[in-house]
Amino acid sequence: MTIADNSVQVLITPLAEMKTADTVMGGEPMGRSISATLSSRTGRWLVYGLVFFWTIPTFGLFVSSFRPELAVKTTGWWSMFLHPSVTLDNYRTVLSSAPGNENLAHFFLNSLKITIPATLFSVGIALLAAYAFSWMKFKGRDWLFVAVVALLMVPLQMALIPLLRLFTHGAHIGSITIIPYLHLNNSASAIWIAHSAFGMPFCIFILKNFVSSLPREIIEAARVDGAGHATVFMRLIVPLTVPAIASLSIFQFMWIWNDYLVGKVFGGTRNVPLTAHLAEMTGTRGQSWQLLTAAGMIAMILPLIVFFALQRYFVRGLLAGSVKG
C-alpha cells in the first residue's frame, strides 16, 4: 500500500482536517477561547473591508437586474436607492422564447440535462472502481491506482481536441475502424462522456480514500459468510459510502454546472449549457447591459441555492477535494 498512499499525499493533505469540516463554516466551535482572542480589532476591520469588497460586485449585478433598461445604461445601480424603480422586464425578456430573445429557459434546461446525468455517471462508475481498488486483490493494484492519481495532473485541454475528433470522426488506425463515428458530436451525451472521463480520476481518488477506510471486519465478515463482491458492493459499500457520495455529487454538480470549456466545445449551438450561452451574450449582446444582468443572475441562482442549502456537504467535499483542477 505504501506507494499508493505516498503519492496520494502529494495532492491531498487537508484530508486530515476533514473531521473539522462541519465547524468550518459554522463558526461556533467549542472551547475556542484562546484562538478567539487572536483576532484583533484591526484584523476584524480588515475582514469587514474584505467582505465589503467581495460583496459589492455581486450585489451590484443583483440590484441592476431589477432596474429598467434606461436606468441601467445611464445611472449607477447605487442610485436605485435614491430613485427606486423596480421591474422584472429584464428577466422576462431573457427567459422568453420569442424570436430574437435569449430563451434562457432553454439553456437552463440544457445545463440540467448535462449536469444531472454527468454527475450520476461519473460518481457511479467511480464507485465501482473505488471498490475494486480498495477491496479486491489483484497484481499491480497499487501501481494502477498511482496511474489514476497521476492522471489528475493532466489538464483537460490536453484531451480536448482528440476527444472532439473522436466524436466527429470515430477512431481509425489506417483503414481499420476501432471506434465508429457515433453521431455524438454536439449532443448532450458527448458532454456527459467528456465530463465523466475528465472527472473520473478525481472521483475515483476521493471515493477510494473513503471506501478503503471502511472497517475491514464488516466487509471480511460478509465475505466469510459467503457474500460475493456484487452483494458486498450493493448491501454494504453503497449504504456506508452515502456521506462521501453526497459530498462528491454536490461537488461534481457544481463543477459541471459552472463549466464553460467542455460544454462549449462539445455542445455545438443548441445543446450548450447556460454558461456558454452567457459568455456568448457578453459578445453578441455586449451593449444590452440590462439583459446581461438578468442572465448573469439566472446562471448563478442554482449554484447559490445549492451552496446555501447544502453548505455542510459542499464544504466537506471541498476539503476532501482540494485537488480538483
Binding residues among 298-317 for other proteins as defined by CB under 8 A: 299-300, 303-304, 306-308, 311, 315
Contact (CB, 8 A) for 319 and 24: yes
**Single residue of 4, 80, 129, 248 touching other proteins by CB under 8 A:** 129
**Single residue of 94, 95, 132, 244 touching other proteins by CB under 8 A:** 132
**Single residue of 43, 68, 180, 243 touching other proteins by CB under 8 A:** 43
CB of 97 to other proteins, least distance (A): 12
With binding defined as CB under 8 A, does residue 201 bind other proteins?
yes
Angle, in degrees to the nearest 10, between helices 242-258 and 289-309: 170
Q: Scanning residues 172 to 191, which ones bind other proteins (CB under 8 A)?
A: 179, 188-189
**Single residue of 96, 260, 268, 312 touching other proteins by CB under 8 A:** 260
With binding defined as CB under 8 A, does residue 318 bind other proteins?
yes
**Single residue of 8, 104, 148, 191 touching other proteins by CB under 8 A:** 148
d(CA 311, CA 27): 13
d(CA 51, CA 185): 43
Nearer of residues 87 and 264 to other proteins, judged by Cβ = 264
d(CA 198, CA 211): 21
DSSP output for 24-92: HHH---SS-HHHHHHS-HHHHHHHHHHHHHHHHHHHHHHHHTTS-HHHHHHS-GGGGGTS-----HHHH
- Side-chain half-sphere exposure of 118, counting CA atoms within 13 A: 33
Residue 28 is placed in which grid cell? Answer: 461556533
With contacts defined by CB under 8 A, name the span among 83-91, 94-102, 239-247, 280-288 that binds other proteins: 280-288
With binding defined as CB under 8 A, does residue 64 bind other proteins?
yes
DSSP output for 288-304: -HHHHHHHHHHHHHHHH
Q: Scanning residues 239 to 258, which ones bind other proteins (CB under 8 A)?
A: 254, 257-258
With binding defined as CB under 8 A, does residue 223 bind other proteins?
no
With contacts defined by CB under 8 A, name the span among 82-90, 93-101, 216-224, 270-278 that binds other proteins: 270-278
Contact (CB, 8 A) for 240 and 261: no
**Single residue of 2, 27, 174, 242 touching other proteins by CB under 8 A:** 27
Nearer of residues 175 and 287 to other proteins, judged by Cβ = 287
**Single residue of 1, 23, 177, 235 touching other proteins by CB under 8 A:** 23
CB of 121 to other proteins, least distance (A): 8
Q: What's the CA dihedral at 72, 73, 74, 76 to 10 degrees?
A: 50
With binding defined as CB under 8 A, does residue 101 bind other proteins?
no
CB of 59 to other proteins, least distance (A): 10
Residues in the chain: 325
- Point out which residues pair with 176 in neighbouring strands: 173
